[in-house]
Amino acid sequence: MRAIASINGECLPLAEARVPALDRGFLFGDAVYEVIRVYRGKPFLFEEHLARLRRSLDAIRLPYTDFDGLRQRVLRVIREHGFQEAIVYIQITRGSDVSRHHVFPEHPVPLEFFYVEEFHDHLEAQREHGVRVITHPDWRWQRCDIKSTNLLPNVLAAQAAREAGAYEALLYLPDGTLLEGSRTSCFAVLGGKLLTAPAAPNILPGITRALVLRLARQQGVAVEERVFRVADLPHVTELFLTGTTSEILPIVQVDNQVIGNGQPGPITRSLQRAYRQLVDAL
Ligand SMILES: Cc1ncc(COP(=O)(O)O)c(C=O)c1O
């Protein structure tokens, strides 16, 4: 797949991109990231993603401020290399020190890495018919609102889903509260209301989640940012995932529990249509 990287502003093919072994992103996961979808050469919700990147950087006290330069560099790579359907991955790390120490370097020099890669969307059939997911314990830390590269619990949950032949793993707390997927946000329709876990330190505030909340309110759907639990699943009539590359993906089965009538429901469908209209109008 065609992919162009940029490291501190220097462009090269992604396969040739290298970072120093002492980079703190590599040693400690001392880094934050973003993933942005590009449709027909245009980044979708770019400013929202940059704003979240800024919040993540502030939260880990990483002194990177060149958002205007970053925006221009990303747009230039998309334009000059003629990317149409693509994703942009951006990662900012706290850079390297002369040796490995947990504490911040005295004068950190952040490393800016991004790449733009062609994206082939293989999810069309799943968006139409829905996917199966599994539940998995949430083994993450207490600041999941920071989009950090510390993704080992997410990786293990995603792998468990893959090995179960499922698309995603829904992460649950010891009391059965369902928070979100390993790489997606999650919504349920319960008692006629659209529910999703409230923005709090235990979930990532998804950019797609925020958009879907807005679209649902515009459509007059009753929306509540409130948690739902594994025990609610037999009563849930619709369930879906949201994310930058997943978009809006209906869930028709969780573990052995069929959701609703086993088909994507009307609220999900109507939100999918509204999402598509926005993308088409980009
Ligand atoms: C844990 C988690 N939740 C939700 C999402 C979806 O966020 P967004 O809609 O911004 O892609 C992601 C995306 O990577 C994620 O990692």
Domain positions in the chain are 3-118, 124-280
Ligand 1 pocket member 180 (CB < 6 A): yes
Assess whether the region 3-118 and the region 124-280 belong to the same CATH fold. no
Q: pLDDT value at position 82? A: 97
- Residue 93 exposure: Cα atoms within 13 Å on the Cβ side: 22
Token duo for residue 135: 């539940």
Q: Which of 178, 185, 208, 211 to mutate to test the pocket of ligand 1 (most atoms within 8 A of CB)?
A: 185
Q: Into which CATH architecture does domain 3-118 fall? A: 2-Layer Sandwich (3.30)
Q: How much is the mean pLDDT over the chain? A: 98
Residue of 147, 167, 188, 242 with catalytic role? 147
Ligand 1 pocket member 244 (CB < 6 A): yes
Token duo for residue 71: 């925006």
Q: pLDDT value at position 222? A: 98
147 labelled catalytic: yes
Q: pLDDT value at position 1? A: 75
User: Tens digits of per-residue pLDDT, 76-116?
Assistant: 999 999 999 999 999 999 999 999 999 999 999 999 999 99
The model's pTM: 0.97
Distance in Å, CA 217 to ligand 1 centroid:
21
Ligand 1 pocket member 206 (CB < 6 A): yes
124-280: in CATH 3.20.10.10: yes
Ligand 1 pocket member 185 (CB < 6 A): yes
Tell me which residues of the chain have a pLDDT lower than 70.
Answer: none
